[in-house]
Amino acid sequence: MKLADRLSRLGTETAFAVSGEAADHAAAGNTVYPFHLGDMNITTPANIIEATYRAMKEGKTGYCPNYGIPGLREALAEDINKSHGTSYSMANVAVQPGGKPSIGKFVLALMNPGDEALYPNPGYPIYESQIQFHGGVAVPYTYHEGAENFELDLDAIEALITPKTKLLIVNDLQNPTGAESKPEQLEALAKLAIKHDLFVLSDEAYYDMRYAGESTSITSFEGMQERSVILYTFSKKYAMTGWRLGASIGPKEVIDAIAKLNVNDESCSNHFIQYGGVEALTGDQSGHEEILAVLKERRDKTVEILNSIPGVRCYCPNATFYLFPNVTGLMQAKGLTDYEDFRKTVLQETGVSFCTRKHFGSPIPGEKEFYIRFAYSGIDLDQIEEGLGQFKAWAESV
């Protein structure tokens, strides 16, 4: 067996390996506190399930257009226009089986082999994987600790741009850090994209997952609608991770190319689920609001306990369902210098399972501080208290 050479450039989500280890630990009779995966233990709102079931019963079980059903494309364009101040129509929308497919299709539609693509690191690992798989050069830009949250350094980003830079991936409301740029920073980033003629992927997976304030999209600034693709997903906003429903939204020429990739890859997204998507966007929003209320309580408790642990410091982001505490002091106190040693020791000794910075892109040379990621989307409040209580007791033991 000789697999194709290109597979050596394909990355993965190593967080899934952490799930496997957590499952093994549980199968051995231990309690596991799952902070590792960005999945949700909250069910999809009932009105969405009912609309989908209705569509199945009404026979929406065959193929549908590769761009998605017109009703969902229209509802998405309207929803985005309302929150972003943009002027999209259904011609700007290609429905996808989830948010993730927009990443690879964006890269395939706009990047030639040898082109450079800027992407956030630490960040969602699929950016780096897809850029490299398709023959591009993945150029990481990073975040640093600011006064209230992680921040971008725009000068550092501009310094990475060369004549070969074609793409800029932006994930404001960020996984894993929970970082959120101020509108004026996003505007400056937009100006940078225009100045250097970059095409932008605005990954908005967490745009509506917020507990205070309002989200801003880089696509809202002048000149950006025509050079951006929005990654939209129903996964988080409506607790629909397993349904696989999302969309690419952008200039018609790019959306037509992406829809052609749909034809080649999956023909169309699941037909009847798209009716659930229409209900999600246009129906009762109380399910979404309840999801946020549950998550906010979990965030507050997780941040409170983490910040009470010696050698740990953690921001309280207003969006996403991730925390990215700095654990440098705790690791030093425990005499640990390796992320995997730390993660495995904590799992074995406390049952608390989390990902580390290493699961979010190749570490950048020179990084001195250590970070881990806690997702509070898949663990109930009482388990958060119990698990982090164990973690704290372990941290305090000498």
94 or 395: CB nearest ligand PLP: 94
Contact status: 178 vs ligand PLP (CB under 6 A): no
Contact between 124 and ligand PLP (CB under 6 A)?
Answer: yes
Tell how far CA 26 is from the center of its chain. 27
* Residues touching ligand PLP, count (CB under 6 A): 13
With CB under 6 A as the contact rule, the residue among 45, 68, 122, 246 that binds ligand PLP is 246
Could you give the C-alpha distances from 154 to 125, 175, 216, in angstroms and in order? 22, 19, 17
Report the alpha-carbon distance of residue 379 to residue 229 in Å, rounded: 32
Q: How many CB atoms lie within 10 A of CB 32?
A: 23
CA–CA distance, 268 with 344 (Å, rounded to integer): 41
Q: Closest distance between ligand PLP and the C-beta of residue 273, in Å?
A: 12
End-to-end alpha carbon distance in the chain: 51
Using CA atoms, how far apart are residues 165 and 168, in angstroms rounded to an integer?
8
Give the nearest distance from C-beta 50 to ligand PLP in angstroms: 22
Nearer to ligand PLP, 99 or 387 (CB): 99
Going from the C-alpha of 180 to that of each of 3, 15, 168, 177, 191, the distances in angstroms are 41, 23, 17, 9, 18
Which residue among 90, 170, 200, 205 contacts ligand PLP (CB under 6 A)?
205
**Residue 175 binding ligand PLP, by CB under 6 A:** yes
* Closer Cβ to ligand PLP, 243 or 315, answer by number: 243
Closest Cα partner for 319 from 209, 187, 203?
209
Q: Which of 52, 92, 216, 235 forms a contact with ligand PLP (CB under 6 A)? A: 235
- Reported as type and span, the H/E element at residue 356 is strand 355-356
Does position 120 bind ligand PLP by CB under 6 A? Answer: no
Segment lying near ligand PLP (by CB under 6 A), choices 40-48, 94-102, 214-222, 255-263 = 94-102
Smallest gap from Cβ 99 to ligand PLP, in A, equals 3
Residue 298 binds to ligand PLP (criterion: CB under 6 A): no
Place of tokens 């233990």: 41
Q: Closest separation between CB of residue 253 and ligand PLP, Å?
A: 23
- Which amino acid belongs to residue 72? L
Report in angstroms how near the CB of residue 118 gets to ligand PLP at its nearest. Answer: 15
- Would strands 137-141 and 352-353 be described as parallel, antiparallel, or unpaired? unpaired
Is there a contact between 235 and 203 (Cβ–Cβ < 8 Å)? Answer: no
Task: Return the structure tokens found at 183.
Answer: 């509108």
Question: Binding residue for ligand PLP (CB under 6 A) from 73, 84, 100, 237?
Answer: 100
Residue 171 near ligand PLP by CB under 6 A: yes
203 binds ligand PLP (CB under 6 A): yes
* 141 and 91 Cβ atoms separated by less than 8 Å: no
Element (H, E) at 374: strand 372-375
- Comparing CB distances to ligand PLP, the nearer of 88 and 321 is 321
Nearer to ligand PLP, 33 or 124 (CB): 124
Q: Is 202 a binder of ligand PLP (CB under 6 A)? A: no
* Residue span binding ligand PLP (CB under 6 A) among the ranges 95-103, 110-118, 185-193, 351-359: 95-103
Among 34, 99, 104, 361, binds ligand PLP (CB under 6 A): 99
Q: Can residue 177 be called a binding residue for ligand PLP (CB under 6 A)?
A: no
Minimum separation from the CB atom of position 163 to ligand PLP (A): 29
> Does 149 contact ligand PLP by CB under 6 A?
no
Q: Is 180 in the site for ligand PLP (CB under 6 A)?
A: no
Contact positions with ligand PLP (CB under 6 A) in 2-61: 38
Give the integer Cα–Cα distance in Å for 398 and 395: 8
Answer for the pair 213, 181: CB distance below 8 angstroms, yes or no: no
User: CA-CA-CA-CA torsion for 319, 180, 201, 12, nearest 10 degrees?
Assistant: -70
- C-alpha to C-alpha distance for 326 and 346, rounded to whole angstroms: 15
CB of 393 to ligand PLP, least distance (A): 31
Closest to ligand PLP by CB, 168 or 305? 168
Q: Which two tokens stand for residue 338?
A: 């390796």
**Interface with ligand PLP by CB under 6 A: which residues?**
38, 98-100, 124, 171, 175, 203, 205, 233, 235, 241, 246
